[in-house]
Amino acid sequence: MIKVITLGDFDIVKDNKSLLSTTQYPYRLIKLFKYLLTFKDKKLTSERIIEDLWYDEDFIDPKKVLRTQISRLRKGICGEEGEEVFFKILFTYGYYIFNLDEKKCIFDVDIFERAVERANSLREISKDEAIKSYYEAISIYKGHYLSESEYEEWLIPIRNRYDRLYLQAISRLLELLKENRRYEEIIEVSESAMHIVPFNENLNIYFIEALINKNEKKYALSHYEYITSKLYREMNIRPSQEMKILYRRLMESFEDSKYIEISHIDERLGEHKEKQGALFCEPDYFTFLYNLEKRRNIRAGEKGSFVGTITINPSKNIEANDDLYLQPMKDLEGIIYTLLRKGDVFSIWNRNQITFILYDIEYKNIFLVENRILSKFNSINKDKRIYLDIKTKPI
């Protein structure tokens, strides 16, 4: 029995051995096989195949090239010629049609889809059986469909469809696990899924909620800070209202933890893992830290901490919009993260402004910090339509 793997790295397996690793097949031949496999059982014209696969090739007779490649494929790509050919390529009325022989071949996508369909049909009948089927489905999904063929335009809608099915299966599985308070499983499923779709907010919400319910609040907060920062840096996405509500719930849960052994205080309150650079936090948490430091200064009579704003302003006669600020804000965030000290704090306040707190610093050194930020930003930024404005004051 041949197994064709497409969810993740493409492979053709027989007797638990990869046939692609033992035999070198021409790149064009494998590419054609992937294409026909993707559109199996569908009618495909020569023109469509050539346009999708070889639009940038300059063949004298592209149809002849296609016929030659089809002829080679018909002889089989698994072992010697004629040995266990597990597919057929028909040509009928001007169309090519690719069929798999299900008696000789297992196709992971077909198994995945059937498992999802079965799980969906069982949700209202037997939740335990539905959970088993969802587990079966997600175990097959090792990665995006034909993940190594990243830049093929014809693949995008197909890959999106399977990604959508996977996320649906994950979401419904997590929902069923949550109903049964199986938080440990939610954590395991979420961690596995985040290797494939790390930036899915719904997935991260289930993960953080499960950590809170398992009383792993410090880890939950660490992950919240990581994912919200990552979403902003990579995709310019700010936390949704649901994420903000989850954050407030998390902070309230810390306030409810009244008792703590002094011998475990560093373990309970310290950062989950070592971090370099300034601490990035959400505006709500920044406000909390600012007010905390303000109280400390009033009580102790110290004036060693400063709050500041860094604003990206448009030059005269320039219309401000999100696109104008997008890249400069990313650059500025990276600069602030590396130039400020590990104990300092900053937050993205709005689309063109960052706020920061500098702890225990002499007034004369404030200007050194400002100059370093300005110098670094000006060396990176080439957009003359904007300029940087930095203001600081004692807390």
Closest CA to 120 of 193, 161, 175: 175
Closest alpha carbon to 390 in 353, 362, 339, 361: 353
Into how many domains does the chain fold? 2
The pLDDT tens digits for 289-345 are 898 888 877 655 555 899 999 999 998 888 878 788 888 998 999 899 889 998 899
- Residue 72: which CATH number? 1.10.10.10
For position 360, which CATH number holds?
3.30.70.270
The token duo for 18 is 């990869």
Q: What pLDDT does residue 81 have? A: 47
Q: Does residue 266 belong to any structural domain of this protein? A: no
Establish if 285 belongs to a structural domain.
yes
Burial level of 342, CB count in 10 A (0-12/13-18/19+)?
exposed
pTM for the model: 0.64
d(CA 6, CA 145): 6
In angstroms, the CA 223 to CA 280 distance is 13
**Residue ranges of the chain with pLDDT lower than 50?**
79-82, 259-265, 267-269, 272-274
pLDDT tens profile 193-237: 999 999 899 999 999 999 999 999 889 998 998 898 888 777 778
Q: Give ∠ CA 219-221-226 in degrees, rounded to 5.
A: 95
Among residues 77, 107, 137, the one where a domain terminates is: 107
pLDDT of residue 324: 87
Domain end (from 60, 92, 107): 107
Residue 121 CA: distances (Å) to CA of 128, 134, 165, 170, 294: 12, 11, 14, 15, 58
What's the pLDDT at 80?
46
Domain assignment present for residue 98? The answer is yes
Nearest to 221 by CA among 170, 272, 256: 272
- What pLDDT does 265 receive? 45
Does some domain include residue 183?
no
pLDDT score for 276: 62
Per-residue pLDDT, 58: 80
Q: Is 172 within the bounds of a domain? A: no
- Note whether residue 128 is domain-resident: no
| Domain closes at, from 107, 130, 152 | 107
Is-contact 187 214, C-beta < 8 A? yes
Burial environment of residue 23 by CB neighbours within 10 A (0 to 12, 13 to 18, 19 or more)? exposed
pLDDT score at 257 = 52
Q: Report pLDDT for 384.
A: 84
Which domain does 14 fall in, by range? 2-107
With respect to residue 201, please indicate whether it lies within any of the assigned structural domains. Answer: no
| Residue 60 near residue 68 (C-beta atoms within 8 A) | no
Domain assignment present for residue 61? The answer is: yes
